[in-house]
Structure 1
Amino acid sequence: MTVYEALNWASSFLEERQLEPPAAEWFMRHHLDVTRTELLLRYRDPLEEDVWNRFKNDVHAYANGIPVQHLTGYEEFYGRRFTVNSDVLIPRPETEELVLAILQKKQALFSDRAIQIADIGTGSGAIAITLALEAENSKVYATDISERALVVAKQNAENLHAHIEFFQGDLLQPFIEKKQRLDVIVSNPPYIPLHEESDLAVHVREHEPHLALFGGEDGYVLYRRLIEELPNVVQPKALVGFEVGMGQGETVRKLLQTAFPRATTEVRDDINGKDRIVLAYGDMSL
């Protein structure tokens, strides 16, 4: 069997089950350890039996509901490879846009002066690690209530040579307890309403941590709690950035505007035109 024939079988197998055919290519690239271009050049190559067996097993496992990233063990984020497992949320491409927004606004607000950044609910560490590697003159902190998530985040930081100080704790409590003030606070908190659980794909519902998915009955519980705690930790001039679910942007923006009436607030759409990022910045004094 050639690489092309194996991919053709897998794509048809997945299409019949209304699953994403591109997963076949992801698995093949993983098992051959090649780029997409290299894969195309190897289409007519014979596939070794052990590779075919591992590839076939992964395709069947994916069809049974296990996420691709849990089978390969990683996900790409901002051009870097992050280890993921069932203890952390799989990083999404939309979150890269939150990181980019923070980097752009950070430069505009603080230029190149040294600042302190905190990623709240860090999960795999994707946001914190990317900011630590991309934002010059920044000291980056990361928190998570899950000890098991922090194990993954710390391993990713070590693998990617990012210098981050991690804290286990609930939202902003580690900084409140230390009476520490921060220039930038960023978070991708759980925001899916509980009543939407049954609508989620099985790959998400049964294999990603519910602690990182659900934001209470209406999806806003964590935003309210974060915004309530923010005055205790933000500097008078600061930047706050949240990722939100589709349709949540204006509600979260109003919560921030009410809490910080002097600040500028805005909602930004993602590349698909969906409200995805909410920012508050400038004068955060009360």
Structure 2
Amino acid sequence: MTLFELLTQGTECLERAGSPDAGNDAKLLLLEAFELDMTHFLLNRMQALSEDEATKAREEKYREWIGSRAKRVPLQQILGSQEFMGMEFFVNEHVLIPRQDTETLVELVLEREKNTQKRVLDLCAGSGCIGISLAVLGGFCYVAEADLSEEALGVTRKNAENLAKKTGTRIDSFHGDLFDAIPDGTEAFDILVSNPPYIPTKVIAGLEPEVRDHEPMMALDGTEDGLLFYRRIAKEAGSVLAPGAAVYLEIGYDQGEAVSELLRKQGFTEVEVHKDLAGNDRVVCGRFVG
């Protein structure tokens, strides 16, 4: 058996399973299983594999990973990581896999919020990719990560330890339902960021299996119209925000007008919609008057 033959078998297996990028996924899994870069793969791909136990273990791992990917388990969950804002975040089945679209929100905050003494609240934190990126790249003095899922907060804490421990930022994690997670007496926040569940319930059944079957439903389902969490954030945010605080919310491509109106009705000012790199509405921001 050679690496090339293994790759061919893996690719064919994923193609039969309907994997949308079978060849690339099979290659990435092979390189990871054998701890190879592309150069060494190309140099050695036609050589017979060794019969030693270590090589056999790598081959078995690769076949197991291909089996998981054939069941449409996301590649990021199999490998346990996803790149976001130039950093590698640990991910598993308990958190939403960070998307490039969400970098639009982080980049907007970094562009607009230059005062590093501001306190940041990341609601529906999941992997912590938003708040931790702001800690590392923005240097904010304090970041609070809040999520309803204890399992998700475990991922958040691991990423904070791996990526932000050398920063001067204090990062706390709080378990609870949106603002109920924040302990009484906590100092008010100057920046609120969130990528809440926003997919309408009826849409979820039509999503790709990787999302529908393997990412946490509680991170996807925004109830009937997808706007439940925005209503609550707009209505309840004043309980934890300082006067003049900025709010940045990721949205679905068709939710800009609706979410903007929810904020305006609750007295937020300077409400704007920002687009992602694909030209779709992606972030609604506003300012809390207090």
TM-score by structure 2 length? Answer: 0.87
Equivalenced residue count is 279
Alpha-carbon separation, structure 2, partners of 1:36 and 1:244: 37
Alpha-carbon separation, structure 2, partners of 1:36 and 1:117: 40
Contact (CA 8 Å) 1:176, 1:232: kept in 2 or not? no
SS in 2 for 1:124: coil
Alpha-carbon separation, structure 2, partners of 1:58 and 1:88: 20
Distance 1:62 1:270, change over 3 A: same
Q: 1:124 aligns with which of 127, 149, 154?
A: 127
Alpha-carbon separation, structure 2, partners of 1:236 and 1:37: 55
Alpha-carbon separation, structure 1, partners of 2:118 and 2:59: 50
Q: Which residue of 2 aligns with 1:266?
A: 272
Shift of 1:119: 0.3
Q: Does 1:164 align with 2:164?
A: no
Distance 1:39 1:220, change over 3 A: farther
Distance 1:35 1:128, change over 3 A: farther
Alpha-carbon separation, structure 2, partners of 1:276 and 1:104: 16
Alpha-carbon separation, structure 2, partners of 1:43 and 1:103: 44
Describe the superposition over 1:233-269 as per-residue Cα deviations: whole angstroms up to 9, x where unpaired. 22222211111112112211221122235x2122122
SS in 2 for 1:238: strand
SS in 1 for 2:205: helix
SS in 1 for 2:122: strand
Distance 1:174 1:198, change over 3 A: closer
Q: 1:224 aligns with which of 224, 228, 231?
A: 231
Contact (CA 8 Å) 1:77, 1:96: kept in 2 or not? yes
Q: Which residue of 2 aligns with 1:103?
A: 110
Alpha-carbon separation, structure 2, partners of 1:37 and 1:64: 29
Q: Does 1:28 align with 2:34?
A: no
Distance 1:128 1:46, change over 3 A: farther
Describe the superposition over 1:76-124 as per-residue Cα deviations: whole angstroms up to 9, x where unpaired. 22222222222211211211221111111212xxxx3511001001111
Distance 1:91 1:35, change over 3 A: farther
Q: Which residue of 1 aligns with 2:289?
A: 285
Alpha-carbon separation, structure 1, partners of 2:41 and 2:282: 33
Contact (CA 8 Å) 2:147, 2:181: kept in 1 or not? no
Q: Does 1:243 align with 2:250?
A: yes
TM-score by structure 1 length? Answer: 0.88
Q: Which residue of 1 aligns with 2:52?
A: none
Contact (CA 8 Å) 1:115, 1:139: kept in 2 or not? yes
Alpha-carbon separation, structure 1, partners of 2:105 and 2:196: 12
Alpha-carbon separation, structure 2, partners of 1:221 and 1:178: 26
Q: Which residue of 2 aligns with 1:66?
A: 73
Describe the superposition over 1:18-59 as per-residue Cα deviations: whole angstroms up to 9, x where unpaired. 312222233123223345566566655655443233212211
Amino acid at match of 2:202: H
Distance 1:37 1:166, change over 3 A: farther
Q: Could you list the runs of 5+ residues in structure 1 that have no partner in the other structure?
A: none
SS in 1 for 2:83: strand
Q: Could you list the runs of 5+ residues in structure 2 that have no partner in the other structure?
A: 50-54
SS in 2 for 1:285: coil
Shift of 1:218: 0.8
Q: Which residue of 2 aligns with 1:202?
A: 209
Provide the alpha-carbon RMSD of the alignment.
2.2
SS in 1 for 2:136: helix
Alpha-carbon separation, structure 1, partners of 2:41 and 2:256: 40
Describe the superposition over 1:49-77 as per-residue Cα deviations: whole angstroms up to 9, x where unpaired. 43233212211211112222222222222
SS in 2 for 1:277: strand
Amino acid at match of 2:3: V
Amino acid at match of 1:190: P
Contact (CA 8 Å) 1:115, 1:137: kept in 2 or not? yes
Q: Does 1:150 align with 2:153?
A: yes
Contact (CA 8 Å) 2:197, 2:229: kept in 1 or not? yes
